[in-house]
Structure 1
Amino acid sequence: MTLKQLENLVEIDQDLTDDAYGTYYDKRTIEQLLNYGLIILDKPPGPTSHETVAWTKRLLKIPKIGHSGTLDPQVSGVLPLGLGEATKALGVLLYGPKEYHALGRIHSLPSKEKLENTIKLFTGAIFQKPPQRSAVVRQTRIRTIHELEVLEQKERLLLTRILCESGTYIRKLYYDIGEFLGPGATMIELRRTRVDQFRESDGLVTLHELAHAFSLWEEKKDESKLKDMIKPVEYAFSEIKSIIIRDSAVDAMCHGAQLAIPGILKISPN
């Protein structure tokens, strides 16, 4: 299997590579994956994202894990975790969109036409001020709502799907929609179903499943389940352009040299 970012590359030159240095992404051991791997966790409602990371560190018995995109305690869903050195790759995921499914209550029932028009108004670039209880400075900023769709309505209850820019507050979005409608609105429940290329439909890992898989590997040396749960760090870069460079250029770049054209073997098109 070839990584998505390495497909259809434009070849500029050819050269040999020494397999003695490094390990192919699909041939890494569990020990290597625990330092260069990703886990797409299904965060349960209740704990903070920080607590979830702390529990995962204790489960896997490793000192360093990071997460991409904080979820409020009562919010569940996709929480990408970077293990060890893979924490450095998590910042890439902030450039991609995030998808949420939210359940909210409108304080009084609007007409169908007014609701549809309001939903359209809140699609695209919007102004948003973070809520009082937030981890950032409360300054009005622009965020993009790529898609806002009402999946189901039962009287004053609305189930919506929101595809939006990273850093959008969905609870505040519901509040603002309610203010525009007049009587107000409140978000009841929220689940994140996508972070960039990682989707809920692709399969998530729960803490219980992770604990069971790790104990199988640690006690019975059965790595099959754990290896399925930990993705190579390269999966985080599947949506960005790639360059393959010569072995001889790697050491120079690691010591601060700039990459020149003679050091490039393949490059993404366009």
Structure 2
Amino acid sequence: MQRKIIRRRVDGVLLLDKPQGISSNGVLQTARRLLNAAKAGHTGTLDPMASGLLPLTFGEATKFSQMLLDADKVYEAGVELGVETDTGDAEGQVLAAHPVAVTELALREVLERFVGEIEQVPPMYSALKRDGKPLYEYARAGIELEREARRVTISAIELLSFDSPRFVIRVACSKGTYIRTLAMDIGAALGCGAHLYSLRRTRIGVFDIASSVSLDALEAVEGDARDGMLASADLLVMNFDRVDLDEVQTRQMLQGQPLRFAQAGSGLVRIYGPEAFLGLAEWKDDGKLWAKRLIATGEANQNK
């Protein structure tokens, strides 16, 4: 009989630098095994070909994963002109090859067209679902489905290098942006086609790749020392204002009672008891502060 693995409670956020060539879920399961964590999740995926910032959440921190799913992101993308693939990246089958006669000036002019609010048609090789099945399953079966264009925002595109037929750009964009689609659209606008040959995510919201750790670094330390590489759950909600509660207010909030203050605020806030992060609360029209999403009491994410 196979012995059941007993997982332990681990709470916090790991800002991981995902390596190339492994799925986001593969990275998550490896980190979960190293931490022996009972509950784990991630804040959006990266394709196996991509590397870079992938925040992983454990325990009570998983309750706030959506906050980063909605955040703006920054990528460094390598694009090769003249070659189109069925997936839009280097892992796909080549569909067509075209001669490339593109100058840096022409490239810069085209890049400027994609800054701002644009429409993108999601690629068939994506995890978007149709009738409960991801689009990539239809694509692998040779089925092409109609997809509605989506509006996304490209805040900035910076050309980092150009050595025809390849160039590298830094892209700051809204959630839901497909960098593969952007690469293909740029190639179409230049008249020679293109695909993505590399992708690295360097920023999500306020979090930068410089603060991340690698799987190798996580594996290099032992036991409880790995817990020290985790940040507290409130790292995911630092963009909200802070409200501190006394012991009585903390007890009332945890019991589901709304709180009234001399001066009401608006929207979501992060709340803290005398010693710990409690979760999110929301100001309602009645002028009271109501619990929105609370962590389990006794949770290990301490207010630092």
TM range, smaller chain: 0.7 to 0.9
The residue that corresponds to 1:101 in the other structure is 76
Alignment partner of 1:162: what SS? strand
The residue that corresponds to 1:147 in the other structure is 156
Separation in 2, partners of 1:198, 1:109: 38
198, 205, 211: which one aligns with 2:207: 198
The structure 1 segments of at least 4 consecutive aligned residues displaced by more than 6 Å after TM superposition are: none
Q: Are 1:129 and 2:86 counterparts? A: no
The residue that corresponds to 1:252 in the other structure is 252
Alignment partner of 1:205: what SS? coil
Question: Gaps spanning 5+ residues in structure 1: where?
Answer: 1-31
The residue that corresponds to 2:178 in the other structure is 169
- Deviation of 1:96 after TM superposition, in Å, equals 2.2
1:210-231 deviation per Cα after TM superposition (whole angstroms, max 9, x unaligned):
1221x2x35xxxx3xx355211
Q: Report if the CA contact (8 A) 1:244-1:264 is conserved.
A: no
- Deviation of 1:155 after TM superposition, in Å, equals 1.8
Separation in 1, partners of 2:43, 2:163: 34
Q: Report if the CA contact (8 A) 2:12-2:231 is conserved.
A: yes
Separation in 2, partners of 1:115, 1:83: 43
Separation in 1, partners of 2:244, 2:70: 22
State how 1:1-270 maps to structure 2 within 5 Å. Answer: 35-107=10-82, 108-137=100-129, 138-202=147-211, 204-213=212-221, 215=222, 217=223, 223=225, 226=226, 228-262=228-262
User: Which amino acid counterpart does residue 251 of structure 2 have in structure 1?
Assistant: D
Separation in 2, partners of 1:49, 1:201: 19
1:90-146 deviation per Cα after TM superposition (whole angstroms, max 9, x unaligned):
211223211111111111132333222211110011101111011114431111111
State the identity %. 34
- Deviation of 1:192 after TM superposition, in Å, equals 0.7
Count of residues in correspondence between the two structures: 227
1:185-207 deviation per Cα after TM superposition (whole angstroms, max 9, x unaligned):
111011111111111123x2111
Bigger relative contact order, structure 1 or 2, given CA contacts below 8 A and separation 6+?
Answer: 1
- Deviation of 1:153 after TM superposition, in Å, equals 0.4
Hey, which of these two has a bigger chunk of strand by percent?
2
Separation in 2, partners of 1:52, 1:42: 10
Alignment partner of 1:93: what SS? helix
- Deviation of 1:180 after TM superposition, in Å, equals 1.2
- Deviation of 1:263 after TM superposition, in Å, equals 9.3
User: Which amino acid counterpart does residue 166 of structure 1 have in structure 2?
Assistant: K
TM-score (norm 2): 0.69
User: Which amino acid counterpart does residue 54 of structure 1 have in structure 2?
Assistant: Q
User: Which amino acid counterpart does residue 211 of structure 1 have in structure 2?
Assistant: E
The residue that corresponds to 2:96 in the other structure is none
RMSD (Å), alpha carbons: 2.4
Q: Report if the CA contact (8 A) 1:35-1:86 is conserved.
A: no
Q: Report if the CA contact (8 A) 2:22-2:48 is conserved.
A: yes
Hey, which of these two has a bigger chunk of helix by percent?
1
Separation in 2, partners of 1:259, 1:140: 44
Separation in 1, partners of 2:196, 2:52: 16
User: Which amino acid counterpart does residue 107 of structure 2 have in structure 1?
Assistant: L
Q: Report if the CA contact (8 A) 1:153-1:159 is conserved.
A: yes
TM-score (norm 1): 0.77
1:156-191 deviation per Cα after TM superposition (whole angstroms, max 9, x unaligned):
110110111122110110001111111111110111
Alignment partner of 2:259: what SS? coil
- Deviation of 1:258 after TM superposition, in Å, equals 3.0
Separation in 1, partners of 2:64, 2:46: 19
Separation in 2, partners of 1:232, 1:106: 43
The residue that corresponds to 1:18 in the other structure is none
Separation in 2, partners of 1:109, 1:100: 26
User: Which amino acid counterpart does residue 79 of structure 2 have in structure 1?
Assistant: G
